[in-house]
Amino acid sequence: MSSLQIGIVGLPNVGKSTLFNALTNNDILAANYPFATIEPNTGIVPVPDGRLQKLADIYGSQKLLPATVEFVDIAGLVAGASQGEGLGNKFLANIRQCDAIVHVVRAFDDSSVLRHDDTAVDPKNDIEIINTELILADIQTIENRLPKLQKEAKAKPAAREQAGYLESLMRHLQSGTPLSALPSVDHEAIADLHLLTAKPVIYVFNVDENGLSDSTNQEHLRSMVAPAKALFASAKLEEELKGLSESDAKELLESYGVEETGLMQLIHAAYDTLGLQSYLTAGPKEVRAWTIRQGWTAPQAAGVIHTDFERGFIAAQIVDFDDLIAAGSESAARAAGKVRTEGKTYVMQPGDVVEFRFNV
């Protein structure tokens, strides 16, 4: 699969663009007024992976190519966006292409930072505004599709079945339930509709420095969005981390009782939410991490490198990363019986270092 794409959304002035700048080490405009972001800004970020350098040391590799995540900072949403308010449908169109949505919610008080409607900070209300707009947009999308399906349903059983399914989804949406909150959704049946509320959502509560260690408030905020994942980050602190050395950044985080940067928390949450993992390839030219879905077989994983690899797959030579590092070289790992040959039904594991064999 190509680079993982995550849309960062939120109401105006919640710290969304500041967080985006920090995550991507970018310097886009992050002003204290609505619609500081008009066009979606994108930043492709390497996924930090300490295994790559260790493999490069063993293979004498010339290049390190980590997996990547593409963050898309999308213009601040306002109530009425589904009806064209603010940047309206343009904003919503930008989310449709993303694999997951990161919803940034303001959870700090600061009189110098204007709130989108000049009222008190209210995370629950802010979440409801955006959810409502996404739900209304999905209702509109289904309403546009249904007449055609209902017409075809008279002669085509498949159309009748799909119309029935969309009608059932419509009922959930009309009751105020985002599709991601349902026990299961047939994503294949609605793939071409790109429904917004069917996408996985990760909530990032933008807190002040004190909020990073306030477990009581965190639990309260987490309960608002359960069972979705909730992360807590300070956009201000993340901005301070930019440009620091690894050791200085670690020291600053520890002073606030935080183990990981917002970027690492987000990447882990996104991989977990979307059911992703990576495997590794290594050689003198390059060491590389490839992103795949959990449960994929060796041929499917090979297809990420090139479709010909999947079509002509013969076998995969695999060694576990930890076994390879312990052995010190591929030849030593092979001599110790740690390199094995796997076939078409093998399910890939996160620590796999792989060489594929295939017919062209």
pLDDT reported for residue 124: 92
pLDDT reported for residue 108: 85
Q: Is residue 112 predicted with pLDDT exceeding 80?
A: no
On the 0-12 / 13-18 / 19+ scale of CB atoms within 10 A, 186 is exposed
CB 283 within 8 Å of CB 308: no
pLDDT (tens digit per residue) in 136-181 = 889 989 999 999 998 888 888 888 999 999 999 999 999 999 998 8
* DSSP-derived pairing of the beta strands 41-46 and 68-73: antiparallel
User: pLDDT class for 114, splitting at 50, 70, 90?
Assistant: low
Q: For residue 244, what is the DSSP state?
A: -
pLDDT reported for residue 62: 95
Q: Is residue 38 predicted with pLDDT exceeding 60?
A: no
Count the neighbouring beta carbons within 10 Å of the beta carbon of residue 312. Answer: 15
Q: Is residue 360 predicted with pLDDT exceeding 80?
A: no
pLDDT reported for residue 209: 87
> How many helical (H) and strand (E) elements, i.e. helices and strands, does the chain have?
13, 12
How far is CA 85 from each of CA 20, 31, 89, 126, 154, rounded to the nearest angstrom?
Answer: 24, 20, 8, 16, 38
